Amino acid sequence: MQIGTHTWVIVDGWIPPTGTGSKPEFVSHDTVCIVNAGDADAQVELLLIFRDRDPAGPYRLTIPRMRTHHQRFNDLTEPEPVPVATDFSCVVRSDQQVVVQQTRLDSRQAENTLFSTIAYPAS
């Protein structure tokens, strides 16, 4: 089953700088969620675009066929760690059709905030 598209954009990227929750479940984070409902593994690249510096990436992921993957931006390290408390956007490119969503957990105060939004399908 092929659903989705090859290029997606997450406009509102931002990793909260602190958290009050237990680790690792309630660490403040921003996440790119990708589902590959196709018959082939998807080779995915993430390019991060910033307000006041050159882009970072590509960060490379493989999403196996008929699987989902939730990648915390906090955990990306190659080619460089993603800075916290810094505005960024993310362009997601895949060689297979995928669907992309973003979630953010902000646990800077005891009352956690979680939001999720579908990314913009650019192609």
Q: Tell me, which fold does domain 5-121 have in CATH?
A: Hypothetical Protein Tm1070; Chain: A (2.60.290)
Distance CA 8, CA 100 (A): 7
Q: What DSSP letter does each residue of 12-64 carry, written as one string? A: EE---S---SPTTTTS-EEEEEEEE-SSS-EEEEEEEEESSS--EEEEEEEE-
pLDDT tens digits, one per residue of 30-67: 789 999 999 999 999 999 999 999 999 999 999 999 99
The CA–CA distances, whole Å, from 32 to 52, 62, 111 equal: 22, 13, 23
**Band of pLDDT at residue 114, cut at 50, 70 and 90:** low
